[in-house]
Amino acid sequence: MRRLLTRIRQGIQDWPDVDLLNTRCYREGKRIPWESSITVVTPLNRNRWNLNVEAILSFQRQRQGLLRIFISDHKWKDGQLTEEEALMILSQGDDNALPVPTIFMFVSGMPIVVNQNIHQGLKLVNGTSYTALDVILDKAHLGYRVNADTILYFSPLAGILLASDIT
């Protein structure tokens, strides 16, 4: 699959590649089988956002794990989050036209792909999959329990613990 994606990025795909994609692509009205550890590729950020949310919620249901939702730092009008802004956060996680922060949803054991390694000494490789074991919380910001399996934090997480077969 990685070779196929490389050929597509390089613009050198061929008809067998097209045939393979057509047999494995999303079909309108069909459910995405997240439990099969499927990899989904989309060129649009808004689609990636929606797919990531759907995948993490499916992962949480499968694992029956605790969902932690972290909202990045932001200066709210009048210092308080309005109901309208809260709805915008949850419905438009990746839209440059909206002046709201993004969110990060976390369930222990979820797969993560590193896309920006700012600490090269850790020997993380951009584009490599890792398993997210746990988060390091910002002690200055307590979470708010939404229900038995969801906690909401109005701050980013302080760190994340990753594992892989080689690290």
Q: pLDDT for 26-49, tens place per residue?
A: 677 778 888 877 777 776 777 777
Alpha helices by DSSP H, 92-167: none
Using pLDDT thresholds of 50, 70 and 90, give the confidence band for residue 117. Answer: confident
Residue 116: its pLDDT value, please? 75
Helices 15-24 and 2-10 cross at an angle (nearest 10°) of 120
Residue 74: its pLDDT value, please? 65
Q: Using one digit for the tens of pLDDT, what is the confidence trace for 47-99?
A: 777 888 888 999 999 999 999 998 877 666 666 667 776 676 666 555 566 55
CA angle 92, 98, 103 (to 5 degrees): 45
Q: DSSP characters for 49-104? A: HHHHHHHHHHHHHHHTPPEEEEE-----GGGS--HHHHHHHHH-TT-TTS-S--EE
Q: Using one digit for the tens of pLDDT, what is the confidence trace for 146-162?
A: 999 999 998 888 889 98
- CB contact set of 65 (below 8 Å; sequence gap of 6+): 59, 107, 108, 109, 149
- The closest alpha carbon to 87, from 98, 77, 97, 78, belongs to 98
Output 136 or 25, whichever has higher pLDDT.
Answer: 136
Residue 67: its pLDDT value, please? 96
Overall size of the chain counted in residues: 167
17-26, 76-85, 105-114: least confident range: 76-85
Q: What are residue 160's DSSP bridge partners? A: 135
Q: Is pLDDT above 80 for 101?
A: no
Whole-model pTM: value is 0.70
